[in-house]
Chain A
């Protein structure tokens, strides 16, 4: 009567917990204190164990009824939970032998208290066997493919061997997955056989009535019968079904005994009113136990078969929904409020389930989050931390004889004065809060071996992160700089890798808590180590916005007295002015050159179309201007070459100086974008109007031609489509012409123009849109055509094909848009918002799949790229073994080397 079964979820969890509780307690043998030392420090309190066990492997299998009973520490017999005093009932679902969830109680099985006891399984004896939903399809296959009399598989003995060989061959060739496919194929063939090759018994047709009922010739096969048939299947035949008889017997898939999960995985919560609210699983288990008891009583009392059948079905329903409450054919079990219960399957699967939410994603302490704001005076690898946060986050420091005085000063200050300390940890792991009352006593107690959790201080290591963390530069290591006020601050040059701006973005800060983590953060994650992107091999950080305009102005035309130049340079923290030429008036290029190392040579290009050479020789900017091409992120080789020659630390130092120089130049020089920047002389205004009028005329002619049917269609296109294409082309041409007028006629050195030319912000097209004409609004590459019947907006006539009726905006932003134009702009604006909104989840899913598929590929010691099981994916990474983050835009820069060698020869 007692035998059967179980479910794999448990199998997994159980297996997992086994190795897991082991690591906590290290065995004596591995103690790390050498024997001689033990005697001299008698008052030393026991150290926390420092050697941890490692899980080597996890085996999966199905629990046998025997094992369920063996691992259970209690048999559950009553659905009651608590007695009158509120103490858990013995043999109830909250039995203290299953673990404790109330503070103060001790577990009867292991004697540990809350949070220490991992919980223990119990079991219930089922009055009648119940089919496990998750195995229904396998049981179904087994029933259909084996003899109903003798249990043998419906393959003659002589062919069985060869079938197995085929399966094994398939598995060797292409893995377990394809073996499963092959098995499926085989099973489909077996279903049609109607005579047993062993005992010649006639086979009846078996169907499955979902979810859990098997029907044979319109008669139901009771789970008892199912189970006996499964029992008859010999071990040797199971291989064909892909079942390993060493871990699973088919009859275990029909439950006769059910494990009860530990209380610790279904804790109850106490509401404010003092009432207890039980977990969904406990509710479900309560139902199961109750019905099970009723079934027992009815069977013993000899109740009519009908009643027993009904109860049996009910029990089957409860157990099915206990495993999975989302089965298509069953109404989900609900709370009294009507909300469906969250049972085992729902707990495990999907994004909020156990696996993705709790196992693959972890939570952490010692972290902070607030709004960010810029501070160009910080170094690139610093992060400004508000004092309030610095007093909450702590760094543990272990006391030894050399630092104990130093650490005592922190404890002395306590948690309220900065820099102080919040906690002291004894070597046995006991944490003590420092307060004014306990301070004196703790100061006394402190001794080597204790740990002080002191406040965050300048120079401490912190990880800084902004979501979405799409690449490794989204989480970098910074040095703490404690600052007043309430925002986290960072140098604007590191905005790009984080993809941050300051319109209310928040970022997270984490403080590593041990030496290993700190060392790893410092060596692998610090800002300067991430300078070169592994995506394309160029610098991800560079000057932005004002810093670019500033350097552009400086290197293009600025001249100032030597005195002013020195003042400027000293304001960005430069103290050595020997590189500045000794003359009264110095050019901006000479000021910029002060930042460059003396032996640096570089030839590059600026954005200017003509005369774009940038030449740096022996640390002097000889020719050219500094703009986005050279200073910006993701572009140009200037920063890349600096990095190559002088290393990361120096590069970020130079970069932050350049950045500050740019900002300071603007501060000194003044820089204001004004409306008059986009003013045009009257002459050009007429020119623009002429262009637009002419374009409109041409379009009208085209439309006329089309209406008269004279328009020649392009091959494969209708006349209407041809017309659209031609109009689109004409209008775009017209817009570009107006743009050219704006560019050539507007004054060249307005701040707006400087920004566009240096690449700091905006481009010439934006300028043309402001000053002259916004242009055609296009959706999916076509003019706007939808809206009302045969027209775009109700203010136009039907079938109006003229430019203005189909979304051509002939006004500039400065002159203002007409109401109709405004609507057209709104249409395309929304379209692009939609595009962004729809794209984000799509690309997010693509990224998740990529990351999941590629995560275990790594370079081995023999330079091959292999996956987790050792299969070779590439013989040499990227065919040449070059690490992109060590290349220059994906290449070895041969030209630079040649120039270097040849240059010296000359």
Chain B
């Protein structure tokens, strides 16, 4: 019985309402009542539809802009044991809506597949993900000025933890340095400069260069933190690299997320980026204890991703794509826009809001939209 009626309303009602109905309907219900409920819900749904002409854009801007004044400016500390900063509040919203390439505090939440998500080898896995620079396994440098050589002493404990051998390290150094010979000397590495002139200076430069050599892990992941979330382990990282993390076999790619919208767009496409904008903005607003409907955020996200790439709400992004010269000019850099328009001979059709405000004319939105047709008596 109920399946039939659900099927009947499947195209009339959005999924969310149908689900709500499913969850709230009492187990025993008469056919007549069921029908009546659907009829009423459908009625209410139709009643709640937006009116044509409704200025949803401005309402959305107000709904996000107004609570902006109530948000905090501070960055907060991650709710884990150790400390990791996360940009929240107003700065985070600004950064998302700006469409910045790299967020202030890039972060990933890496979910794991079955055995690992229960905590198996969690520490080692975390270590594997983290980007390790050579500096971290070096205990000291010894520079011999007379012979222009440099000894690199390695921290064997760290090496063991990272499952690194001296040979591997030498390979890395060898590959990335020029005009010097690399030799193994027990647990140490001996570097000898070739060539004569100004070797001391060069050796210092070499030292700095070696320090930041990449050895293993995923580039861009500066910190890792395994955290127990509900009943599974999740790895939270500072720094993002979705593409490479997805290639690890123990990662649950379906749930792993990054907070770098631009990266999501590259790896997963605009639709994913759009959803990420919605999720991220909503998360911030929710965290601040504010109440803003998703629909407003959706509209902003849709506008930002309309062209197929994510554009920020800035003078270079969305505003520059407007068709009206005056609308662009009234935002920022008016002179530039007027001059460019004059070169091409652009025509402003006065189809949006500000231009008509400027000319003291009714705005083509809301009640200004419908016109009146009348037959003039001759």
Contacts and interface: CB of A to CB of B under 8 A. Distances in A.
A16 B307 CA distance: 32
A347 to B, nearest CB: 11
A836 to B, nearest CB: 8
A850 B293 contact: no
Interface in B309-323: 313-314, 317-323
Interface string A846-873: 1101111111111111010101110101
Interface in A721-738: 721, 725
B172 interface: no
Interface in A858-906: 858-861, 863, 865, 867-869, 871, 873-874, 877-884, 886-887, 889-895, 897-898, 900-902, 905
Interface string B354-378: 1101111100011101000000010
Nearest to A537: B293
A855 B61 contact: yes
Contacts of A471: 62-63, 65-66
A714 B81 contact: yes
A118 to B, nearest CB: 15
Given A852-B331, A861-B52, A892-B45, A847 B338 contact: no
Interface in A287-323: none
Nearest to B360: A362
A791 B69 CA distance: 35
A392 B56 CA distance: 37
Given A716-B82, A858-B53, A859-B51, A174 B307 contact: yes
Contacts of B360: 362
Nearest to A869: B323
B211 interface: no
B347 interface: yes
A524 B313 CA distance: 29
Given A852-B319, A857-B299, A898-B24, A865 B56 contact: yes
Interface string B294-330: 1110111011001100000110011111111111011
Interface stretch (A57-65, A612-620, A654-662): A57-65
B299 A890 contact: no
A891 B16 contact: yes
B42 to A, nearest CB: 10
Contacts of B248: none
B343 A905 contact: no
A246 interface: yes
A138 B339 CA distance: 10
A248 B345 contact: yes
Interface string A780-801: 1100000000000000000000
A168 interface: no
6 shortest interchain CB distances as A-B pairs: A857-B57, A878-B295, A847-B65, A247-B345, A868-B352, A854-B57
Given A721-B83, A858-B57, A894-B17, A60 B345 contact: yes
Interface stretch (B90-98, B105-113, B135-143, B250-258): B90-98
Nearest to B63: A535
B296 A884 contact: yes
A336 interface: no
Contacts of A856: 57, 322, 327, 351-353, 365
Contacts of A55: 350, 359, 361
A242 B299 CA distance: 33
27 contacts: A8-B341, A20-B359, A59-B345, A60-B338, A135-B339, A247-B345, A359-B358, A360-B354, A534-B62, A535-B63, A717-B83, A851-B65, A854-B60, A854-B61, A855-B352, A857-B55, A857-B58, A858-B57, A867-B352, A869-B351, A879-B295, A879-B298, A881-B50, A882-B50, A890-B293, A894-B21, A898-B25
Interface stretch (A268-276, A394-402, A837-845): A837-845
Contacts of A247: 342-345
Interface of A: 8-9, 11-12, 16, 20, 34, 54-62, 134-135, 138, 174-177, 180, 242-244, 246-248, 324, 345, 348-349, 353, 355-356, 359-360, 362, 468, 470-472, 520, 524, 534-538, 634, 714-717, 721, 725, 780-781, 835, 838-840, 842-844, 846-847, 849-861, 863, 865, 867-869, 871, 873-874, 877-884, 886-887, 889-895, 897-898, 900-902, 905
Contact of A850 (B65, B91, B361): B65
Contacts of B223: 716
B73 A882 contact: no
B73 A244 contact: no
Contacts of A138: 343
B326 A58 contact: yes
B73 A842 contact: yes
A715 B291 CA distance: 36
B50 A883 contact: yes
B342 A8 contact: yes
B266 interface: no
B57 to A, nearest CB: 3
A847 B69 CA distance: 9
B48 to A, nearest CB: 4
B5 interface: no
B334 A355 contact: yes
A174 B90 CA distance: 31
B74 interface: yes
A868 B377 CA distance: 34
A883 B91 CA distance: 29
Contacts of A858: 53-57, 365-366, 369
Identify the interface centre among A177, A715, A846, A853: most chain B CB within 10 Å of its CB: A853
Nearest to A894: B20
B225 interface: yes
A878 B48 contact: no
Contact of A725 (B81, B303, B320, B365): B81
B77 interface: yes
B350 A873 contact: no
Nearest to A538: B291
Nearest to B49: A881
B45 A865 contact: no
Contacts of A897: 37, 40-41, 44
B168 interface: no
A839 to B, nearest CB: 5
A868 B50 contact: no
A520 B362 CA distance: 13
A60 B71 CA distance: 42
Contacts of A898: 21, 24-26, 37
A176 B358 CA distance: 24
Contact of A855 (B76, B321, B345, B353): B353
Contacts of B49: 863, 881-883, 886
A877 B314 CA distance: 23
Contacts of A468: 69
Interface stretch (B28-36, B147-155, B156-164): B28-36
A785 to B, nearest CB: 14
B353 to A, nearest CB: 5
Best-buried of B30, B40, B47, B58 by chain A (most CB within 10 Å): B58
Contacts of B58: 851, 854-855, 857
Contacts of B62: 470-472, 534-535, 851
Given A536-B293, A849-B314, 7 more contacts: A58-B326, A61-B345, A715-B225, A855-B57, A882-B49, A892-B44, A895-B24
A305 to B, nearest CB: 34
A360 B313 contact: no
Contacts of B333: 349
B377 A874 contact: no
Contacts of A353: 334
A881 B13 CA distance: 11
B267 interface: no
Interface in B263-285: none
Contacts of B53: 858-859, 861
Contact of B16 (A537, A781, A880): A880
Contacts of B57: 854-858, 865
Nearest to A779: B74
Contacts of A900: 40
